[in-house]
Amino acid sequence: MHEPSERAPRETIDAWQLGALRDQLALLLEHNAFYREKLEAAGVRDAATVTDVRELPFTTKRELCDDQTAHPPYGSALTFPLDRYVRVHQTSGTTGSPLRWLDTPESWAWFTAGWRRIYEAAGVGPEDRVFFAFSFGLFIGFWSAFDAARELGAMAIPGGGMTSRQRLRAIIDHRATVVCGTPTYALRLAEVAREEGIDLAASSVRVTIQAGEPGAGLPATRARIERAWGATCFDHAGATEVGPWGFECTEQAGQHLNEAGFVFEVIDPETDERADEGELVVTNLGRVGSPVIRYRTGDRVRLAAAPCPCGRTFARLDGGVIGRIDDALTIRGVSIFPSAIEAIVRAEPAIDEFAIDVHRRGALDELCVRIEAPTAPDTAAVAARVEAAIRDALALRVDVDVAAPGTLPRYELKARRVTDHRPA
Ligand SMILES: [Zn+2]
């Protein structure tokens, strides 16, 4: 059976997914020690009898980390002998110890096919020149995007081992039309461009693709990136151990889920029941050498109810990733995602950078937002507006302090803007 098109009827997509899932499970039961044990413990002994992904056990990051500790360095969740694998990457380690991940030529081809889909949906083609504002190391990030650009026939321009100034220079000198990076770094480059007197909006860049953080899914952050770069901004989500699962079409109406590469579920993380908003659970189809089955991503998402105006039938999220479930802050009994605060802060054009601190004073939680707004004529007025907007939108009283220009941390990859100082 051929992989379904992005506009295939639901029954076609479901039937194809079940077939691909069974093929994969048959291989795992035979060759993959980690999954054979998990599947057999869950009573799955014959792939052909599986009728629904929900018959399979969940996989957690903890399990995978423990498996790699028990079977160093790559663990036992591998379907083939080690000499079949040609790529190695590891997670950034922002949430716990780094996880190492291997790919065979076939699974890497599956990975880059996921990225070609991202490019095509964003209208990126062979005539484009794609610059990667990224330090190419063990983190998987844009390695797959780089290979996929080449496969697409576009020019792939690596931006590793450069300062921000050198990257800006390269973008302009090579007349890049597409820039890939994290939303935090897209804004950082815009800030450096301003300091250097470079008019980014006048550059040849027409598209930016942002990954690694929720930012580009937030309207205020997206608008700011688009204004600074004079380019259309697309949001993308994926993970080292999972693959590139989300892509945005030119309607920019939230991320579509790549249902030709994955089976998706959204569950209530407390009850494990299906939900419209909750944790994204992912089973990949095609990364057979190092798959994940019903993987608890820890990403909070909300399914869009209406079909996308683009006509794609692949499911779609309302916005992108709302946040990491573990990153939700409980302030005086109320659960708040840092992205909700970012959405408000980024609506103030003069704010270059911000940080969030949580303290406990006596019995009371206190949330403090620090902002840098060097170009604002009246920073106190900016702070007062942010304070009022957070109070109105989130019913939360916060302190907003003005930090001296250049004193808050800047980031090239994922930002860590939240510090919780409360005792555990
Ligand atoms: Zn669409």
pTM: 0.91
| CATH assignment of the domain containing 145 | 3.40.50.12780
308 C-alpha vs ligand 1 centroid, how far in Å? Answer: 5
Q: Is 187 helix (H, G, I), strand (E, B) or coil?
A: helix
171 C-alpha vs ligand 1 centroid, how far in Å? Answer: 29
Integer angstrom CA distances of residue 343 from 166, 251, 300, 383, 387: 30, 20, 16, 15, 13
Residue 382's nearest CA partner among 350, 406, 353 is 350
374 C-alpha vs ligand 1 centroid, how far in Å? Answer: 38
163 plus 99 within the same structural domain: no
Answer with the one of 208, 235, 262 that is the final residue of a domain. Answer: 235
201 plus 246 within the same structural domain: no
297 C-alpha vs ligand 1 centroid, how far in Å? Answer: 23
406 plus 382 within the same structural domain: yes
- 155 within a domain of the structure (yes/no): yes
What gap in Å lies between CA 124 and CA 117, rounded to an integer?
10
158 C-alpha vs ligand 1 centroid, how far in Å? Answer: 29
169 C-alpha vs ligand 1 centroid, how far in Å? Answer: 34
328 C-alpha vs ligand 1 centroid, how far in Å? Answer: 28
| CATH assignment of the domain containing 395 | 3.30.300.30
- 128 within a domain of the structure (yes/no): yes
197 plus 220 within the same structural domain: yes
What gap in Å lies between CA 204 and CA 175, rounded to an integer?
6
For the chain (424 residues), the mean pLDDT of every run of 10, in chain order, is 93 97 98 98 97 97 95 97 97 79 98 97 98 92 95 97 96 98 94 95 97 88 96 96 97 97 97 97 97 97 96 95 89 88 92 94 91 94 96 92 94 88 88
Q: What is the domain extent for residue 299?
A: 10-103+239-324
Residue 285 contacts residue 278 (beta carbons within 8 Å) = no
139 plus 188 within the same structural domain: yes
The whole-number pLDDT of residue 95 equals 61
63 plus 147 within the same structural domain: no
Answer with the one of 324, 357, 378 that is the final residue of a domain. Answer: 324
11 C-alpha vs ligand 1 centroid, how far in Å? Answer: 19
120 C-alpha vs ligand 1 centroid, how far in Å? Answer: 12
231 C-alpha vs ligand 1 centroid, how far in Å? Answer: 19
18 plus 58 within the same structural domain: yes
Which helix or strand (DSSP H or E) is residue 166 part of?
helix 164-173
173 plus 92 within the same structural domain: no
347 C-alpha vs ligand 1 centroid, how far in Å? Answer: 25
- 3 within a domain of the structure (yes/no): no
Residue 184 contacts residue 190 (beta carbons within 8 Å) = no
413 C-alpha vs ligand 1 centroid, how far in Å? Answer: 27
180 C-alpha vs ligand 1 centroid, how far in Å? Answer: 20
What gap in Å lies between CA 157 and CA 161, rounded to an integer?
13
Answer with the one of 296, 324, 352 that is the final residue of a domain. Answer: 324
415 C-alpha vs ligand 1 centroid, how far in Å? Answer: 28
Structure token pair of residue 327: 């990153």
What gap in Å lies between CA 32 and CA 354, rounded to an integer?
45
Query: What single letter denotes the amino acid at residue 58?
Result: F
- 197 within a domain of the structure (yes/no): yes
The whole-number pLDDT of residue 415 equals 87
The rounded Cα 374 to chain-centroid distance in angstroms is: 30
What gap in Å lies between CA 36 and CA 314, rounded to an integer?
30
- 123 within a domain of the structure (yes/no): yes
Residue 240 contacts residue 215 (beta carbons within 8 Å) = no
227 plus 276 within the same structural domain: no
149 C-alpha vs ligand 1 centroid, how far in Å? Answer: 21
What gap in Å lies between CA 116 and CA 123, rounded to an integer?
10
- 5 within a domain of the structure (yes/no): no
166 plus 202 within the same structural domain: yes
What gap in Å lies between CA 175 and CA 149, rounded to an integer?
16
132 plus 219 within the same structural domain: yes
Structural domain count of the chain: 3
Other Cβ atoms within 10 Å of 16 Cβ, number? 18
- Rounded to a whole number of angstroms, the CA Rg of the chain reads 22
What gap in Å lies between CA 266 and CA 151, rounded to an integer?
32
245 plus 294 within the same structural domain: yes
Query: What single letter denotes the amino acid at residue 374?
Result: P
